[in-house]
């Protein structure tokens, strides 16, 4: 790499088993006094635990976070936060909850502290997304970064093995795109390669359902690194396709990333040999794309869009929507390219 620009993002990270106990201390450190705890319905217990730790600082719990951050949910959450006089939030959960916290930061100026429970790494990026009328709008804004992230491996102990696998593959997709992003840099490349390696090491252990604290910690470290390197770079074709699929069809976010990962890699990595070499090293394999496909398969993640309920008749519309506002990519893609790529992903043909 002959030239690069690398700008660090503001971040405060607390890492370690049992670090959730520092939640009140961390919210105090960033100046939050009236806190709305955000979660999905399935994270009810964690939301209540966070409320107990916060004590009088907690003014309420909003448990209606949803995948892809529907605009209606954002409006509802803003109204609740306003009625309660909240001056900030705690996002207790995975990507859906953290996505809602980002939207509240963007639209209502509410800062937040993140308590991640999956391995997607979204909390480390300034990327936001809001879905309206079956279209997911995304953008980058530093205001949506959390004021602090508390990574506690113990909080991931109850995450289902399938969720651990797909959220981790989502994070690996962040790192792969960061490796061939036009604004990548040596620090980003180092974080991406290490993040992929950490997740590839830990996810097969977690897939067995083993209660392995060391593997959970390694996976969280990988998620942190993969999210951070995406946060510092431009998204490409992989993320554009996943945003279109999620917005148009309301597909499960992490599972969509898992399906698309080896197929977009097969399209892009030949045009980015340095990225292909880094992925191959991280996966300790001779060929990056084959190793990614093998990892997805061995983790038991979905391998086709058909498994997620996509019909073949929808593929052309997805390709056309992807081309309306394309992201930066190492290889140009036209309608035929995208249709062929989506056909392979729909059928599950090995990349």
Q: pLDDT at position 209, please? A: 78
4 located within any domain: no
Q: pLDDT at position 3, please? A: 75
What is the share, in percent, of the chain residues with pLDDT greater than 90? 90
d(C-alpha 38, C-alpha 63), whole Å: 6
User: Which residue carries 């390219």 as its tokens?
Assistant: 337
Nearest to 92 by CA among 140, 169, 156: 156
Give all strands of the β-sheet with 58-62 in edge-to-edge order: 13-15, 148-151, 112-116, 88-93, 35-38, 58-62
d(C-alpha 196, C-alpha 173), whole Å: 9
The mean pLDDT of the chain is 95
> Pick from 123, 156, 189: which residue ends a domain?
156
- Residues 148 and 166 reside in one and the same domain: no
pLDDT of 317 over the 80 cut: yes
pLDDT of 1 over the 60 cut: no
- Residues 227 and 175 reside in one and the same domain: yes
Q: pLDDT at position 2, please? A: 59
d(C-alpha 104, C-alpha 159), whole Å: 25
List Cβ<8 Å contacts ≥24 apart for 102-106.
Answer: 102/69, 102/128, 102/144, 103/69, 103/74, 103/77, 103/128, 103/130, 103/144, 104/38, 104/74, 104/77, 104/78, 105/143, 105/144, 106/141, 106/143, 106/144
8 located within any domain: no
- Residues 199 and 332 reside in one and the same domain: yes
Q: pLDDT at position 134, please? A: 86
Q: Where are the beta strands (DSSP E) in 108-165?
A: 112-116, 127-132, 135-140, 148-151
d(C-alpha 121, C-alpha 117), whole Å: 10
Q: pLDDT (tens digit, 9 = 90+) per residue, 249-261?
A: 999 999 999 999 9
CATH code of the domain in which 298 resides: 1.20.1090.10
Q: pLDDT (tens digit, 9 = 90+) per residue, 108-131?
A: 999 999 999 999 999 999 999 999
Are 340 and 315 contacting, i.e. CB atoms less than 8 angstroms apart?
no
pTM for the predicted model, two decimal places: 0.93
pLDDT of 107 over the 80 cut: yes
Nearest to 277 by CA among 163, 164, 169, 196: 196
> Pick from 132, 156, 180: which residue ends a domain?
156
Q: How confident is the model at residue 15 (pLDDT cuts 50, 70, 90)?
A: very high
Region 56-63 average pLDDT = 97
- What domain count does the chain have? 2
More confident site: 350 or 160: 160
- Residues 142 and 174 reside in one and the same domain: no
- Residues 108 and 168 reside in one and the same domain: no
> Pick from 156, 173, 197: which residue ends a domain?
156
Helical (H) or strand (E) element with 93 = strand 88-93
pLDDT of 337 over the 90 cut: yes
Q: How many other C-beta atoms lie within 10 A of the C-beta of residue 29?
A: 14
Q: pLDDT (tens digit, 9 = 90+) per residue, 211-238?
A: 789 999 999 999 999 999 999 999 999 9
Six token digits for residue 339: 């249709």
5 located within any domain: no
Structural domain for 308, as ranges? 161-347
Q: pLDDT (tens digit, 9 = 90+) per residue, 169-190?
A: 999 999 999 999 999 999 999 9
Burial of 66 (0-12, 13-18, 19+ CB in 10 A): middle
Six token digits for residue 57: 């600082």
- Residues 195 and 149 reside in one and the same domain: no
24 located within any domain: yes
- Residues 191 and 305 reside in one and the same domain: yes
């Amino acid at each position: 790499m002959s030239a690069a620009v690398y700008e660090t993002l503001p971040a405060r990270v607390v890492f370690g088993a049992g670090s959730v106990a520092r939640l009140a201390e961390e919210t105090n450190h960033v100046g939050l006094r009236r806190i709305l705890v955000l979660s999905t319905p399935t994270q009810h217990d964690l939301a209540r635990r966070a409320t107990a730790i916060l004590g009088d600082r907690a003014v309420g719990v909003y448990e209606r976070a949803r995948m892809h951050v529907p605009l209606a949910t954002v409006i509802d959450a803003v109204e609740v936060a306003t009625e309660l006089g909240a001056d900030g939030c705690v996002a207790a959960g995975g990507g859906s909850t953290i996505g809602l916290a980002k939207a509240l930061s963007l639209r209502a100026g509410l800062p937040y502290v993140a308590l991640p429970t999956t391995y997607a790494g979204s909390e480390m990026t300034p990327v936001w997304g809001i879905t309206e009328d079956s279209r997911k709008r995304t953008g980058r804004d530093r205001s949506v970064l959390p004021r602090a992230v508390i990574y506690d491996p113990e909080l991931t102990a109850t995450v289902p093995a399938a969720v651990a696998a797909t959220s981790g593959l989502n994070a690996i997709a962040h790192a792969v795109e960061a490796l061939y992003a036009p604004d990548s840099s040596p620090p980003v490349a180092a974080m991406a390669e290490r993040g992929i390696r950490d997740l590839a090491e830990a996810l097969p252990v977690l897939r067995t359902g083993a209660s392995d604290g060391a593997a959970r910690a390694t996976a969280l470290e990988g998620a942190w690194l993969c999210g951070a390197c995406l946060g510092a770079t431009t998204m490409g074709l992989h993320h554009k396709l996943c945003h279109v699929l999620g917005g148009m069809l309301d597909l499960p976010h992490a599972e969509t990333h898992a399906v698309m990962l080896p197929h977009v890699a097969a399209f892009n990595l030949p045009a980015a040999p340095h990225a292909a070499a880094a992925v191959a090293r991280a996966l300790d394999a001779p060929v990056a794309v084959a190793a990614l496909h093998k990892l997805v398969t061995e983790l038991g993640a979905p391998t086709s869009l058909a498994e997620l309920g996509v019909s073949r008749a929808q593929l052309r519309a997805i390709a056309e929507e992807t081309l309306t506002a394309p992201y930066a990519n190492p290889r140009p893609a036209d309608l035929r390219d995208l249709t062929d790529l989506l056909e392979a992903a729909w059928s599950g043909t090995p990349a």
